[in-house]
Amino acid sequence: MTKVLAFAGSNSSTSINHKLVEFAASQINSHDVKIIKLTDFPLELFSEDIEKERGFSDNLKGLLNEIENADALIVSVNEHNSATSAYFKNVLDWLSRIKYKFLEDKKILLMSTSPGRGGAAKSLEYVKDVMTNRYNGTVVESFSFPSFNENFSKTENKITNETLAMGFTDILQNFEHQINT
């Protein structure tokens, strides 16, 4: 059985990206899916001085271990001011310092969402580029989910927009197919 690690690139306690990750994970039954919160692995703001003085923290090593033990990833990223959040960028910076190609041989479902119509698509594109071209991951599917609060029911735990629901089902099925091969 394929091990899938799922997390959101947000440090918000009310993260809609985490809610999207939970929903995606709940739709996958044929694989072992583990959901984590990056906030359970607190990292200082990256600094070469901190790295030289203290080395790599146990939290960073623990997060890298979670990633290395997974065969595939489900990641949903947020967006701040049309860019990847400083929080998630910091996580990527630290991971790349401990092991530059930390996503090598990982198949990834990359998602993003926001309350607005843009669906955090700019952040998704940036993260997709660095995950594949820098860190050697393979983004097999990506999905930008617009207007989360209008198109998703938290109480019913479902996508309420029929077109988005069909598109989401398609990308999940393709992701599952890709991680089976």
Which contiguous run of DSSP H or E holds residue 144?
strand 138-145
Question: Which DSSP string do the residues of 119-130 spell out, in sequence order?
Answer: TTHHHHHHHHHH
The distance between the two most distant Cα atoms of the chain, rounded to a whole number of Å, is: 53
Residues of the chain where predicted confidence (pLDDT) is lower than 70: 181
| Residues contacting 80, CB < 8 A, separation 6+ | 86
How far apart are the C-alpha atoms of 138 and 63, rounded to whole Å?
A: 19
pLDDT in the model for residue 92: 98
Instruction: Give domain 3-180's CATH number out of 3.40.50.360, 3.60.20.10, 3.30.43.10, 3.30.450.20.
Output: 3.40.50.360
pLDDT in the model for residue 129: 98
| Residues contacting 47, CB < 8 A, separation 6+ | none
DSSP state of 39: G
In this prediction the pTM is: 0.96
DSSP state of 179: H
pLDDT in the model for residue 3: 97
List the domain boundaries for the chain.
Answer: 3-180
Closest by CA position to 64, among listed 29, 103, 23, 31 = 103
Residue-wise pLDDT tens digits, 113-128: 999 999 999 999 999 9
pLDDT in the model for residue 180: 87
pLDDT in the model for residue 1: 75
